[in-house]
């Protein structure tokens, strides 16, 4: 991380001692020698598990390595006065039942829905005094068609049918997210009784098949084919296809031409907020406010959450049964149930005694591919970006496009593929794919008056650089400068508005948040498909 610009503050180096101020959580009660259940890591998944267990009367303790709860769903004041969702920055996939069961609104959760939600400005030369075109998408289908017709009237007519097609697939698959997975092992090797019991796991899958009906082959293609192949069957204009394709590659080391990239796109239309399918939103106070609400729900029923209490290892008895955990400071905490919110690699390769794990299982875990293309850059600015394609209001107040996911270097799917190819050669993309979000456009509590926080979710950046280079300060700053140059082309004056910046490359995301390979998604849980 490094600073750029002037004014309120300077950024800090990712390898130096952090100067940010996080939302530190004060544990309630003293550490006990024994609990009914222990959760390793206070990421949002671990906190949800603790909240449910405690509601069932299971005395539960959560141990977090960092001084701030939330895992990748955190709010951190990296630059004084500016509060950043430092890792994940959007909410959509958290299951509706969790909101209800844990009473998250009662515990302070507030959401800001976005409409419109997507803005793709063009870089167009030779247009004279004309404003460059842009593509703005929201919940108004007629307005979406008007926007798309700038590029293709045929695509404008096809878009409602495409949306209905994708929504039907999301509707079919959505119930599977709350159902137990099919027990394939029982079908293959189980006893007759086990096979009969496992038949119940097939019911949601069969129901999904009935919803999809005769179009099942087309839907199968969405899940297995390159997203370019899917989109080419629907549309002809590159700005629309590239905008939609960003949701098929974001957070993944894949190209729009990679088979299976269509599934990632589906992953982004399956969520929802406030009963609106596919809606994404900002959390009031940043993503850490979500983690705080879940924690408040858990502790209100008696759960204990401890920060700066790293778990060193899981204790296993001579009979192979879990007995508890040993903390980094040597403290032993007994428990017959241990849940891990750490990654599979950390859980099974570092914390669990290897002699109790099958060799084949350990080998599979060690070969998990979690390489990330993402460098997250958090930016403090003293004014809103002023896009050539959508000039700012005279008073500088946020306009509808400022609340969107703003897609830069996304006018053509070929641009996305070339950016991917750079990373395959061990190089940061020459023209990175950039998703720019300004949550303070809807939530002014995140920044001082007139100022804003900007989230840059950029790719592709390889974990390991070519030529023996490492992600040191020089390489971080060189890449961030390239990203800022790209933004400047769309919004002149952006670089002059920067107060400070926080640069998190894949190794930084791994070191700080415990994400193997730096694997990060825009919304919490996306990195682990929760």
Answer with the one of 193, 215, 236 that is the final residue of a domain: 236
Q: How far apart are CA 495 and CA 288, in angstroms?
A: 28
The parent domain of residue 193 ranges over 152-236
Q: Count Cβ atoms within 10 A of the Cβ of residue 454 and give its class: 0-12 exposed, 13-18 middle, 19 or more buried.
A: buried
Domain limit, last residue, from 236, 254, 273:
236
Specify whether 159 is located in the same domain as 230: yes
Residue bearing the bigger pLDDT, 398 or 262: 398
pLDDT at residue 15, as a whole number: 33
**Bridge-based pairing state of the strands 311-316 and 322-327:** antiparallel
Sheet holding 60-63, edge to edge: 304-306, 60-63, 37-40, 338-340
What pLDDT sits at residue 211? Answer: 77
Q: How many CA atoms lie within 13 A of 388 on its CB side?
A: 21
Q: How far is 483 from 498, CA to CA, in rounded Å?
A: 13
CA distance 364 to 366: 5
Classify the C-alpha dihedral 161-166-170-172 as positive or negative: positive
229 and 296, same domain (yes or no): no
pLDDT at 128: 65
> Does some domain include residue 251?
no
**22 or 383: whose pLDDT is higher?**
383
For residue 48, is it within any domain? Answer: yes
Q: How far apart are CA 384 and CA 247, in angstroms?
A: 25
Is 362 part of any domain? Answer: yes
Report yes or no on 231 lying in a domain. Answer: yes
Residue 7 inside a domain? The answer is no
CATH number of the domain bearing residue 55:
3.50.50.60
Burial class (CB in 10 A: 0-12, 13-18, 19+), 43: buried
SS3 121: strand
Residue 116 has pLDDT above 70, yes or no: yes
Per-residue model confidence (pLDDT) at position 8: 31
Co-location of 296 and 227 in the same domain: no
What is residue 153's predicted lDDT score, i.e. its pLDDT? 98
Instruction: Find the largest Cα–Cα distance for the chain.
Output: 78
Residue 414 lies in a domain: no
- Using left for φ > 0, alpha for ψ between -120 and 50, and beta otherwise, residue 260 falls in left
The CA distances from residue 409 to 60, 476, 489, in Å, are 47, 20, 10
Q: Say if 301 falls within a structural domain.
A: yes
Residue 363 burial by Cβ neighbours in a 10 Å radius (0-12, 13-18, 19+): exposed
Residue 458 included in any domain: no
Same structural domain, 299 and 231:
no
Of 345, 367, 389, which residue constitutes the final position of a domain? 367
Question: How buried is 321 (Cβ within 10 angstroms: 0-12 exposed, 13-18 middle, 19+ buried)?
Answer: exposed
Is 84 in a helix, a strand, or coil?
strand
**528, pLDDT greater than 60:** no
The whole-number pLDDT of residue 276 equals 79
Cβ-based neighbours of 429, under 8 Å, separated by 6 or more: 418, 419, 420, 422, 423, 459, 460, 461
For 238-248, b where at least 16 C-beta lie within 10 A, e where not — what string?
Answer: bbbbbbbbbbb
Q: Quick check: 121 pLDDT over 90?
A: yes
Number of domains into which the chain is organized: 2
Label residue 525 exposed, middle or buried (CB < 10 Å: 0-12, 13-18, 19+). Answer: buried
pTM: 0.89
Q: How far is CA 284 from CA 75, 83, 192, 383, in A?
A: 10, 11, 52, 20
The 10s digit of each residue's pLDDT in 464-509 is 999 989 999 999 999 999 999 999 999 999 999 999 999 999 999 9
What percent of the chain lies above the pLDDT cut of 70?
90
pLDDT digits (tens, 9 = 90+) for 50-87: 999 999 999 999 999 999 999 999 999 999 999 999 99
pLDDT, position 17: 34
What distance in Å separates the CA atoms of residue 200 and residue 183, rounded to the nearest whole number?
9
DSSP 8-state class, residue 194: H
């Amino acid at each position: 991380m490094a600073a750029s610009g002037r004014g309120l503050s300077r950024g800090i180096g990712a390898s130096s001692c952090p100067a940010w101020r996080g939302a530190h959580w004060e544990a309630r009660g003293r550490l006990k020698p024994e609990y009914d259940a222990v959760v390793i890591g206070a990421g949002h998944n671990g906190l949800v598990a603790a909240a449910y267990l405690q509601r069932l009367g299971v005395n539960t303790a959560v141990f977090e390595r960092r001084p701030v709860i939330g895992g990748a769903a955190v709010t951190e004041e990296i630059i004084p006065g500016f509060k950043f969702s430092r890792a994940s920055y959007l909410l959509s996939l958290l299951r509706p039942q969790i909101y209800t069961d844990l009473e998250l609104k009662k515990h302070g959760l507030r959401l800001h829905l976005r409409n419109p939600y997507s803005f793709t400005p063009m870089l167009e030369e030779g247009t004279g005094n004309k404003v460059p075109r842009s593509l703005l998408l929201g919940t108004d289908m007629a307005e979406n068609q008007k926007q798309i017709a700038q590029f293709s009237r045929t695509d404008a007519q096809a878009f409602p049918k495409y949306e209905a097609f994708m929504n039907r697939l999301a509707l079919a698959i959505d119930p599977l997210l709350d159902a137990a997975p099919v027990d394939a092992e029982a079908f293959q090797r189980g006893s007759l009784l086990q096979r009969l019991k496992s038949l119940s796991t097939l019911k949601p899958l069969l129901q999904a098949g009935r919803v999809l009906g005769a179009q099942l082959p087309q839907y199968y293609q969405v899940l297995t084919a390159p997203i370019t192949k899917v989109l080419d069957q629907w549309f002809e204009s590159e700005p629309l296809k590239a905008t939609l394709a960003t949701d098929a590659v974001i957070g993944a080391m894949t190209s729009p031409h990679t088979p299976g990239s269509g599934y990632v796109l589906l992953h982004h239309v399956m969520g929802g907020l406030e009963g609106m399918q596919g809606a994404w939103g900002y959390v009031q106070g940043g993503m850490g406010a979500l983690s705080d609400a879940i924690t408040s729900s858990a502790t209100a029923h008696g759960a204990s959450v401890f920060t700066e209490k790293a778990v060193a290892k899981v204790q296993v008895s001579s009979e192979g049964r879990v007995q508890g955990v040993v903390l980094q400071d040597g403290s032993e905490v007994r428990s017959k149930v241990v849940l891990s919110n750490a990654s599979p690699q950390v859980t099974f390769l570092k914390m669990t005694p290897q002699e109790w794990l099958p060799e084949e299982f350990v080998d599979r875990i060690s070969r998990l591919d979690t390489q990330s293309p993402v460098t997250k850059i958090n930016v403090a600015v003293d004014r809103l970006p002023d896009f050539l394609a959508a000039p700012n209001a005279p008073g500088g107040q946020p306009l509808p496009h400022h609340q969107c996911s703003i897609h830069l270097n996304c006018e053509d799917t070929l641009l996305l593929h070339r950016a991917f190819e750079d990373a395959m050669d061990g190089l940061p993309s020459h023209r990175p794919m950039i998703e720019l979000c300004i949550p303070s456009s809807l939530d002014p509590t995140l920044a001082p008056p007139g100022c804003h926080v900007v989230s840059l979710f950029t790719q592709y950046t390889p974990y390991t650089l070519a030529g023996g280079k490492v992600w040191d300060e020089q390489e971080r700053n060189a890449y961030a400068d390239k990203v800022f140059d790209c933004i400047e082309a769309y919004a002149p004056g952006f670089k002059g508005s920067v107060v400070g910046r926080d640069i998190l490359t894949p190794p930084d995301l791994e070191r700080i948040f415990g994400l193997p390979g730096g694997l990060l998604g825009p919304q919490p849980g996306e990195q682990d498909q929760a």
